[in-house]
Amino acid sequence: MTPSPEWWQRGPVAGVPDALQPVAHMLLQLRDEVPAVVAPLDWTAWNARPGGSASVAFHVRHIGGVLDRLFTYARGASLTDAQFTALKAEGAPLDSDTRDALLDALVSQIESRLDELRTIDPAMLFIVREIGRAKLPSTTFGCIVHAAEHGMRHLGQLVVTARVVAAP
Long-range contacts of 124-130 (CB under 8 A, 24+ apart): 125/19, 127/76, 129/73, 129/74, 129/76, 130/73
For the segment 113-153, what is each residue's pLDDT rounded down to a tens digit?
Answer: 999 999 999 999 999 999 999 999 999 999 999 999 999 99
Rounded mean pLDDT, 99-103: 93
Residue 32 pLDDT exceeds 70: yes
Note the pLDDT of residue 102.
94
Q: How far apart are CA 67 and CA 23, in angstroms?
A: 11
For the segment 7-17, what is each residue's pLDDT rounded down to a tens digit?
Answer: 999 999 999 99
Residue 95 pLDDT exceeds 90: no
User: Which residue ranges form the domains of the chain, and what is each CATH number?
Assistant: 17-166 (1.20.120.450)
Residue 1 pLDDT exceeds 70: no
3 state DSSP class of 3: coil
Backbone angles phi, psi at 153, to 5 degrees: -60, -45
